[in-house]
Amino acid sequence: MNAGLSAAAKTGPLTGLKVIEMAGLGPVPLAGLMLSEMGAQVLRIERTGTSEFLSLPDEYNIDRHGRALLRLDLKRREGTDLLLRLAEKADMLLEGFRPGVMERLGLGPE
Q: What is the pLDDT along the chain (110 residues), one digit of tens a residue?
A: 444 444 446 789 999 999 999 988 789 999 999 999 999 999 999 988 766 666 777 677 777 788 899 999 999 999 999 999 999 999 999 998 999 999 998 898 87
Examine residue 25 and state whether it is found in any structural domain, yes or no.
yes
Q: Are 18 and 88 in contact (CB under 8 A)?
A: no
Which residues form the domain of 23? 13-104
CA distance 31 to 28: 5
Examine residue 20 and state whether it is found in any structural domain, yes or no.
yes
**Number of structural domains found in the chain:** 1
Q: Coil, strand or helix: which one is 73?
A: coil
Examine residue 65 and state whether it is found in any structural domain, yes or no.
yes
Please provide residue 107's backbone torsions phi and psi, each rounded to the nearest 5 degrees.
Answer: -120, 20
pTM: 0.81
Please provide residue 24's backbone torsions phi and psi, each rounded to the nearest 5 degrees.
Answer: -175, -165
Query: Which CATH number fits the domain that encloses residue 81?
Result: 3.40.50.10540
Examine residue 85 and state whether it is found in any structural domain, yes or no.
yes
